[in-house]
Chains A and B, each alone.
Chain A
Amino acid sequence: MTSREGVALVTGASRGIGRAAALRLASDRWPVAVNYRSDAEGAKETVALIESSGGQAVLACGDVSTADGIEETYGAAEAVGPVLVLVNNAGVRRDTLAAMMKRDEWDDVIRTNLDGAFFASKRALKRMISARWGRIVNVASVIGLRGNPGQTNYAAAKAGLIGLTKSLSLEVAKRGITVNAIAPGLVKTTLTENLGNFDDLAKTMPIGRIVEAEEVAAAIAFFASEDAGAITGQVLCVDGGMTA
């Protein structure tokens, strides 16, 4: 439970891991800024779910892959308070083999998954430095650790996000700001729904099932907590044993 006067901003919070993280942080008493790019209905549903549980949430529309979108997002979030927790979750996939990959398929994935996370973090840093406290949690992927055919763009973006996490954590460590990454494995979300038959995929997982978005959200909430103040620059795999 937080007693800090600030806001938790979750990018890409209209569904999946982002929504689960928003709900979980709200249950830890953070007012939550629910960012989305195009799924307004989903984002409104996230806000409604938080409010129906007695939490506080605000819609923060904006495409975090653009400078204007980041300003738009922060404008809405900072109307509630300074962003002291940032969850960089917004992500896209454009899977195809490298030999077939078009320039825009590469660029889209790098822009949203990596550029978006960097510039959203940069925007948060001044206030976090001023508050001498902050939590940045980057939602990476096991694909950024071990690769996957058809996902060179996604793997590069997620591996980049892990490098960003480690370097940034060292820059701001003395200011009470932690920067960590979560590497989810196979989680059933709209982002992964076309990966195959989930019943078959579950059999390949060491835990014998798919990871739930709420389990990833629990790890995000831990990194965002006061208790995790001595943990920074780390990558926590929430992957059902995929990388064991």
Chain B
Amino acid sequence: MVDAKTVTREDVLEVIRSELKGFEVEEGDVKGEASFDSLGLDSLDLVELSVRIEDAYGIDIEEDDLKEVWTVDNAIDVVLAKLGKS
């Protein structure tokens, strides 16, 4: 489990990049502004990714949180909010 106090935006991006390898997404394509749709992820992929991020950070990502997630930046915002960083 990570220390929430030290987590940065770049850290979360790295975790997302790492987890997206399991979805056969090119690491270089995973940028903040990239939409998950453009990365080839569907809604169920997003649910799967959210479980992996939950496990990485020890947080709960709710249904309503996921509804606001379209881009990698959106996902980072959710994680940082859950960690009390925004």
Contacts and interface: CB of A to CB of B under 8 A. Distances in A.
Q: Do A and B bind each other?
A: yes
Interface of A: 125-127, 129-130, 132, 171-172, 174-175
B47 A126 contact: yes
B4 interface: no
Interface in B44-86: 44, 47-48, 50-52
A127 B44 contact: no
Contact of B52 (A125, A130, A171, A175): A130
A126 B48 CA distance: 7
8 contacts: A126-B47, A126-B50, A129-B47, A130-B48, A171-B44, A174-B44, A175-B44, A175-B48
Contacts of A172: 44
A129 B52 contact: no
Contacts of B52: 130
A172 B51 CA distance: 16
Contacts of B51: 126-127, 129-130
A-B pairs, 6 with minimum CB distance: A130-B51, A129-B48, A126-B51, A129-B47, A130-B48, A129-B44
A188 B44 CA distance: 40
A126 B46 CA distance: 10
Contacts of A126: 47, 50-51
Nearest to B49: A130
A125 to B, nearest CB: 8
Contacts of A129: 44, 47-48, 51
Contacts of A127: 51
A127, A130, A172: residue with the most chain B Cβ atoms closer than 10 Å: A130
Contacts of A171: 44
A79 to B, nearest CB: 16
Contacts of A174: 44
Nearest to B46: A129
Contacts of B44: 129, 171-172, 174-175
A121 B67 CA distance: 20
B57 to A, nearest CB: 15
Nearest to A82: B51
A127 B50 CA distance: 11
A132 B23 CA distance: 12
A167 B38 CA distance: 27
A174 B50 CA distance: 18
A202 B51 CA distance: 49
A174 B43 CA distance: 12
A174 B51 CA distance: 17
Nearest to A175: B44
B82 to A, nearest CB: 16
A129 B50 CA distance: 11
A171 B43 CA distance: 10
Nearest to A132: B48
A130 B50 CA distance: 9
Contacts of A132: 48
Nearest to A171: B44
A126 B52 CA distance: 10
